[in-house]
């Protein structure tokens, strides 16, 4: 494969990739994928865990405090 042919092939592949990326972006905008970007940040909360209140105690004894195994 010669250098000019490889460069031409690379340019063609990059143009096709750019067209596909632009098409995906246009599809996302037309189907309102960017309509509410903050919604996903609040999906993990429910009535039992209000926004801003830490209720997860999985790592509560991570410093060796409390009962459990010796470190």
Q: What number is the average pLDDT over the span 1-30?
A: 95
- Position 22 scores a pLDDT of 98
Which has the higher per-residue pLDDT, 64 or 51? 51
DSSP string, 22-61: HHHHHHHHHTTTTS-TTHHHHTT--TTS-TT-----TTTT
Residue labelled with tokens 């309102």: 32
* Residue 46, number of CB atoms within 10 A of its CB: 8
Is 50 exceeded by the pLDDT of residue 54? yes
pLDDT 10s digits, 16-52: 999 999 999 999 999 998 888 887 777 766 666 666 6
- Position 38 scores a pLDDT of 80
Residue boundaries of the structural domains of the chain: 3-42
Is 70 exceeded by the pLDDT of residue 3? yes
């Amino acid at each position: 494969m010669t250098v000019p042919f490889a460069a031409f092939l690379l340019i063609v592949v990059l143009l096709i990739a750019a067209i596909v990326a632009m098409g995906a972006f246009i599809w996302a905008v037309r189907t309102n994928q960017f309509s509410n970007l903050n919604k996903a940040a609040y999906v993990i909360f429910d009535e039992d865990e209000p926004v801003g209140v830490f209720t997860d105690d999985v790592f509560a004894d991570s410093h060796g405090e409390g009962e459990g195994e010796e470190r």
